[in-house]
Amino acid sequence: MKKKVLILLFILGGIIMAFSINGQVQKSAEEKRNREYEVSLVKALKNSYRDIEEIQVLDTVYYKEPGNWGCVLQILFSDGRTAKYNLGHGLNDEINKSAVAHPDTLAVLSKHYGSTEGKVQVIYSNGDQGVQ
């Protein structure tokens, strides 16, 4: 009887471990995919707006491949103005002005049409920070 219980516990432990590892792999793949989209988005935003100092990616939504990815982000410009809005993004987008926002936010964005040549501080959706 004890052997059967030990074997059962061993099997259950293995199954639980397998699901745990699978969950970690899926989370890692999702984080990698999000980072790829976020880096691509920052490049597109730098090609779309001038005088960007900081971009913060707040929330991300990913649609099944080969679909697009979306997020809520906040941009800080060198004149102190900020724009917080929703947008969608595709990996091949070189420019992204697809803001879904209040008219006041759209006005701030339109005043900054152009491109940013310098480095931009980026706060990624997972909290990591970098310069791009």
In the chain, how many domains are there?
A: 1
Question: Can you give the pLDDT of all 132 residues of the chain as single tens digits?
Answer: 666 666 766 676 666 665 555 555 456 777 888 889 999 999 999 999 999 999 999 988 876 665 678 899 999 999 999 999 999 998 889 999 999 999 999 999 999 999 999 999 999 999 999 999
Residue 101 has a pLDDT of 94
Residue 30 has a pLDDT of 77
Phi-psi category of 80—alpha, beta or left, where left has phi over 0 and alpha has psi -120 to 50? Answer: left
Q: Alpha-carbon distance 115 to 48, whole Å?
A: 5
Q: What is the 3-state secondary structure (H, E, C) of 53-101?
A: EEEEEEEEEECCCCCCEEEEEEEEECCCCEEEEEEEECCCCCCCCCCEC
Residue 5 has a pLDDT of 61
Cα four-point dihedral sign 33, 97, 85, 131: positive
Domain span at residue 70 reads: 2-131
